Amino acid sequence: MLTLTFTKIFYFLFACMIFLSTFFSQASAGQFLDVRFLNVGYGDSILIRSPDNSYAMIDAGDASASQRLREELSGSGVKEIGTAIITHPHENHYQGFQELVQSLPINQWFINREKEAPPEYTQWQQMLEKQGIEFFLLSKGDTVPALSEGIKIEVLHPSALGPDINDNSLVLWLTYGNTAFLFTSDIGEKYQEKLIADYPFIKKADCVQLPHHGGPLSERFINFFDHAVFIMSTGPNSFGIPGSADIQKLKGKKYFRTDRDGIIFLKSDGEIVGVISSQ
């Protein structure tokens, strides 16, 4: 599979540039799968648009991201979200939904299984359940109902639950035609390495989300993929993430980061994945 990184566009031949221009022109018209890593600071939010204009959102950042999310969704003409997925109950993954659900219809909710979620998250979930909203639990082996024909989202992790909320995060494998996206949420190094051991087929991923906002990263995990472009969803934080050691592991790799590059846009026609950024 060919992944086209548009920061390198000037290295392409003129004919190739014409092809790529046509590719993105058609994609923006809604004919292709559109995956966007939104810039929500030190958090995650991924907006997925199917070729028939159905939308899914994986995580929604923290409360401070709400305004940016509303602006992005409004500017993109999003009237409703068909599928919302919360990978785990940390505030920088779910709080953005708290305000979003008040202004935008969300049809289906999917969450991870957790031994003991933070009280604030549990209270919010219970409040929505009293309003008639149902949350469906996901774990390894499940499949998220299709956004549209040809799109499949499988749950690769977790199977058994441990004490670390990050390591209980949902890991999702999205395929569209012959292209594939790996969404890793906040899993740690141990489960990064378990993932590549358990699922050798993910080697073919066109796009890989760097776990836990860029660190800590397993070097074996990073080097496992054939041709993937890596996406880091990160922002200012007090944890020193990503650290210099993790940045060094990415040397020579194709990667984008939301704090530097803004929103990361990926588009697939089922054969090719193109990548551009907003900055």
Length of the chain: 279
d(CA 183, CA 31): 23
How far lies 147's CA from each of 57, 134, 174, in Å?
Answer: 11, 18, 11
- pLDDT tens figures, 178-191: 999 999 999 999 99
- pLDDT tens figures, 132-176: 999 999 999 999 998 888 999 999 999 999 999 999 999 999 999
Q: Which CATH architecture has domain 2-277?
A: 4-Layer Sandwich (3.60)
d(CA 180, CA 202): 8
Please, what sign has the CA dihedral across residues 211, 217, 221, 227? positive
- pLDDT tens figures, 114-127: 989 999 999 999 99
Kindly list the domain boundaries of the chain, sorted by start residue. 2-277
**Do residues 246 and 253 touch, judged by C-beta distance below 8 A?**
no
Q: What is the DSSP letter of 179?
A: E
Q: Is the pLDDT of residue 26 over 70?
A: no
Tell me the two tokens of residue 23.
């590719």
**Do residues 47 and 75 touch, judged by C-beta distance below 8 A?**
no
